[in-house]
Amino acid sequence: MQAEATLFPVRPEFEAIPRQWDSRHDAVVARVDPGNFYVTAHDELIFTRLGSCVAACIWDPLLGIGGLNHFLLPERQLHEDWHQLTSYTCRYGNWAMEQLINSILSLGGMRNRLKAKVFGGAQMTATSVLNVGESNISFVKNYLKTEGIEIVSEDLGGPWPRKVLFHPNSGKVKLMRLSPERISKMMSEEQRYLKQIVTAQGESQVELFD
């Protein structure tokens, strides 16, 4: 009963995000999986786990409003047409960042006050045709530079999967680098997710992220 009573009200667009009381951190924790984001003005934590994916933690330090996204750009091997890959990158990466930023602004955050911390982009395999982690890193850093949002902290690249726990009220992050032995499992998870993106796009007659 205590756990249920502690949960803060959530906006309709975030009702599908898993949230529960975590006694270890004495706080509500929302879990963000690939392709999702979460924004809050409450005193709660946001958790995600990263391989090649990148998470951008963005917040307004004055108001303590912020959130985290989790995105993975498609691999070249899933696309014979480079133009299709470029299209995915523009729509999916931009969507992930725009939705996060716009949701913060809708709660009262100010664009000129926003700060960012970015994590992830591990090199999952030395034999990949395209280093997806490197592509994700390049994308998020260029995007934030273009938007004029300062990156105040980062932990990017390398061979390590990561766990990230973000507190938007304060901007503090707890980061754990996982053993490189975890990479094979995360590669399988990311491949399944990437194929879902491609399948969904192939079956749709409309633009997914416009």
Residue pLDDT, tens place only, 133-157: 888 999 999 999 999 999 999 999 9
Backbone dihedral region of 148: left (phi > 0), alpha (psi from -120 to 50 degrees) or beta?
left
**Which pairing describes strands 162-167 and 172-177: parallel, antiparallel, or unpaired?**
antiparallel
Residue burial 148-166, b: 16+ Cβ < 10 Å; e: rest: ebebeebbbeeebbbebbb
pLDDT of residue 207: 36
Please choose, from the candidates 58, 38, 45, 160, the residue with its C-alpha nearest in 3D space to the C-alpha of residue 111. 58
The residue segments making up the domain with residue 95 are: 28-203
Whole-number pLDDT of residue 49: 92
For residue 3, the surrounding DSSP H or E stretch is helix 2-6
* The pLDDT of residue 71 is above 70: yes
Q: Is residue 6 part of a domain?
A: no
Q: How confident is the model at residue 6 (pLDDT cuts 50, 70, 90)?
A: low
Spatial CB neighbours of 197, under 8 Å, sequence gap ≥ 6: 35, 74, 88, 92
| Mean pLDDT value of segment 26-33 | 95
Would residue 21 count as lying in a domain? no
Q: Determine, yes or no, domain membership for 163.
A: yes
Q: Is the pLDDT of residue 94 over 60?
A: yes
Instruction: Give per-residue pLDDT as tens, 45-59.
Output: 999 999 888 999 999
- Two tokens, residue 188: 């399988």
The pTM of this model reads 0.81
Would residue 103 count as lying in a domain?
yes
Mean pLDDT across the chain:
81
User: In CATH, what number is assigned to the domain containing residue 70?
Assistant: 3.30.1330.200
Note whether residue 2 is domain-resident. no
pLDDT tens track for 162-207: 999 999 999 999 999 987 666 666 666 666 666 665 555 444 333 3
**pLDDT exceeds 90 at position 83:** no
Q: Which residues pair with 173 in a beta bridge?
A: 166
Joined tokens for residue 96: 């992930």
Instruction: Quote the number of domains for the chain.
Output: 1
Instruction: Note whether residue 23 is domain-resident.
Output: no
Better-predicted residue by pLDDT, 79 or 32: 32
Q: What is the Cα 135 distance to its own chain's centre? A: 14
Report if residue 210 sits inside a domain. Answer: no
Residue 10 lies in a domain: no
